[in-house]
């Protein structure tokens, strides 16, 4: 069963290690940028055409949610065309919101368009509780009345009005959610201690194409002049910086030579800084980055995940796979999420020596080699880390819960195979028959 529709995957990935990855990859559209845009698109009283939207399960689930509120959409020659002229309130089941956290970010757009709505609360996930208190606090500052009853947020906005919002933490999601809402809220809104992730910048560009007036996106202070109406537009989703970083790490872990193309090298600065410390040869041009590796990486003493432009939390798990085979010890401190260590036990099943201290600090004693094993992906980026480990391991690795990987990596196994890797998606039944 194709897990693109987000259902439980009936597949596993089988990885045969030991192949060097070589070649180039054209990076597809950013899942996180596209998901943010698919919340803000509801602000448009018109038809929007999006290009380079990634074909991953999170996108398809979110489109189903938008259609429940009256949006209609169609894929035409690779473009996604969305008509958001006729929106209405709806009571949606929590299954449509809980698995895709950014589904919650449509609350502000619906309030700005409809004046009231209700929406199930988003759930936590395997990397953390994922609260939305900063979102709610900001929407209330803009004049929304929001109550949480029985797991449902009931919201009314009799008269939204611009205001001063200070984010206790530079939350990417809260910055996206509040910036978009403010774009269709009368008056001036200032967001201080805003997140600076590239997905904020691309969302601001999308809102600008709809007629919004935003200054400071990408800095810690964003100023939004609310408009009376926002229109449909055409927009191209930027390349996925996290996908790009994952393929660069796949090159490094297989002693390969891979170039990722169609990217913004400045989005990889924090990763390249640590790859160079690990002895990996990194080069870059105006829209490409290349990684070449011979031999084992060396341990990197201190990696600490931070909000952008710091080391990305979404790259620390695949980075741990590389450092698991380094010559020497490494330390990775995860400061963004309280539980983003689901990859560690599984990497240790493959022969890694990683000890987690206090749930956030991974102490990695590099080993000469990993060996293939049966492992389970606990979340999206943990799954990517296990695939990378399988590419470097001796023998065969079977990875379950492929649906997590399908949330954010388009054609993952096809791309890795095209680069020379041996990665195959096989139905669970076939795999279990082989075992019996
Ligand atoms: C986005 O999540 C990304 N997801 C995440 O990528 C990414 O890890 C994260 O930003 C940080 O860069 C999407 O864009 C869909 P946050 P988001 O709000 O917006 C706390 C992936 O693998 N917080 O910056 O949810 C929160 O608990 C995913 O692609 C509050 O306390 O991230 C977390 O500890 C995983 N209250 C921290 O902030 C709030 O109201 C970062 O969260 C909101 C957040």
Q: Could you tell me if 120 and 97 are in contact, meaning their C-beta atoms sit under 8 angstroms apart?
A: yes
Residue partners of 332: CB distance under 8 A and separation at least 6 = 303, 304, 305, 316, 319, 320, 323, 361, 362, 364
Please tell me the predicted confidence (pLDDT) of residue 97.
Answer: 86
Ligand 1: does its nearest atom lie under 6 Å from the Cβ of 391?
Answer: no
DSSP for 266-328 reads GGGHHHHHHHHHTT-EEEE-SSEEEEE--SPPBP-S-EEB-STTSB-HHHHHHHHHHHHTSBS
Statement: residue 213 has pLDDT above 80: yes
The DSSP code for 19 is P
pLDDT band at 1 (very low <50, low <70, confident <90, very high): very low
Taking residues 254-269, what's their average pLDDT? 98
SS3 assignment, position 331: strand
- Backbone dihedral region of 341: left (phi > 0), alpha (psi from -120 to 50 degrees) or beta? alpha
Q: What confidence score (pLDDT) does residue 94 get?
A: 86
Distance in angstroms (rounded) separating the CA atoms of residues 343 and 349: 10
What is the average pLDDT across 326-350? 97
- Ligand 1: atom nearest CA of 102 is 15
Q: Cβ distance 359 to 368 under 8 Å?
A: no
- Indicate whether residue 34 lines ligand 1 (CB < 6 A): no
Strand partners, 431: none
- Distances in Å between the Cα of 91 and the Cα atoms of 82, 100, 129 are 21, 17, 24
pLDDT over 70, % of the chain: 97
Pairwise CA distance, residues 205 & 13, whole Å? 37
Q: How confident is the model at residue 3 (pLDDT cuts 50, 70, 90)?
A: very low
Pocket test for ligand 1, best of 103, 105, 124, 130 (most atoms within 8 A of CB): 130
- Compute the distance between CA of residue 320 and CA of residue 342 in angstroms, rounded to an integer: 11
Q: Which residue's CA lies nearest to atom 31 of ligand 1?
A: 131
The arrangement of secondary structure in 3-27+239-435, i.e. its CATH architecture, is Alpha-beta prism (3.65)
Class of domain 31-236: alpha beta
Where exactly does CATH 3.65.10.10 map onto the chain?
3-27+239-435, 31-236
The confidence score (pLDDT) of residue 126 equals 82
Residue 26 contacts residue 263 (beta carbons within 8 Å): no
3-state secondary structure of 427: strand
Residue 127 Cα, ligand 1 centroid: separation in angstroms? 10
Q: Is the separation of the CB atoms in 74 and 81 below 8 Å? A: yes
Pocket lining: 133 vs ligand 1, CB cutoff 6 Å = yes
pLDDT value at 436 more than 70? no
Q: Is the CB of 172 under 6 A from ligand 1?
A: yes
How many angstroms separate the CA atoms of 295 and 50, rounded? 42
pLDDT of residue 353: 98
Q: Is the CB of 178 under 6 A from ligand 1?
A: no
**Active site (catalytic) residues:** 125
């Amino acid at each position: 069963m194709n897990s693109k529709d987000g259902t439980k995957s009936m597949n596993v990935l089988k990885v045969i290690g030991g192949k060097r990855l070589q070649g180039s990859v054209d990076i597809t559209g950013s899942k996180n940028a596209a998901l943010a845009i698919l919340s803000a698109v509801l602000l448009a009283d018109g038809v929007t055409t999006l290009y380079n939207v990634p074909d991953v399960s999170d996108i398809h689930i979110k489109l189903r949610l938008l259609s429940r509120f009256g949006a209609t959409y169609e894929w035409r020659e690779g473009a996604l065309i969305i008509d958001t002229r006729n929106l209405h309130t709806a009571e949606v089941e929590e299954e449509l919101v809980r698995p895709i956290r950014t589904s919650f970010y449509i609350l502000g757009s619906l309030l700005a368009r409809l004046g009231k709505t209700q929406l199930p609360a988003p759930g936590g996930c395997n990397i953390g509780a994922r609260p939305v208190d900063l979102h709610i606090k900001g929407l209330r500052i803009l004049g929304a009345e929001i109550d949480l009853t029985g797991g449902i947020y009931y919201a009314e906005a009799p008269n939204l009005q611009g205001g001063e919002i200070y984010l206790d933490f530079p939350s990417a999601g809260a910055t996206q959610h509040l910036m978009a809402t403010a774009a269709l809220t009368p008056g001036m809104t200032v967001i201080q201690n805003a997140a600076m992730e590239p997905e904020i910048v691309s969302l601001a560009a999308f809102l600008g194409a709809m007629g919004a007036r935003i200054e400071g996106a990408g800095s810690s202070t964003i100023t939004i002049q609310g408009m009376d109406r926002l229109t449909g537009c055409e927009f191209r989703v930027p390349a996925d910086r996290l996908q790009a970083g994952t393929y660069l790490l796949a090159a490094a872990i297989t002693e390969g030579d891979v170039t990722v193309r169609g990217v913004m090298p400045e989005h990889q600065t924090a990763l390249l800084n640590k790859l160079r410390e690990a002895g990996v040869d990194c080069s870059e041009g105006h829209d490409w980055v290349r990684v070449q590796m011979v031999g084992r990486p060396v341990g990197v003493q201190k990696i600490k995940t931070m909000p952008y432009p710091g080391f990305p939390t979404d790259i620390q798990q695949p980075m741990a796979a590389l450092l698991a085979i380094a010559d020497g010890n490494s330390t990775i401190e995860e400061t963004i999420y309280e539980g983003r260590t689901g990859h560690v036990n599984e990497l240790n099943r493959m022969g890694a020596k990683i000890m987690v201290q206090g749930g956030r600090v991974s102490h990695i004693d590099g080993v000469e080699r990993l060996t293939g094993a049966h492992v389970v992906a606990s979340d999206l980026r943990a799954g990517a880390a296990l695939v990378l480990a399988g590419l470097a391991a001796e023998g065969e690795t079977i990875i379950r819960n492929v649906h997590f990987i399908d949330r954010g990596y388009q054609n993952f196994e096809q791309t890795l195979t095209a680069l020379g890797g041996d990665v195959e998606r096989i139905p669970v039944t076939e795999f279990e028959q082989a075992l019996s």
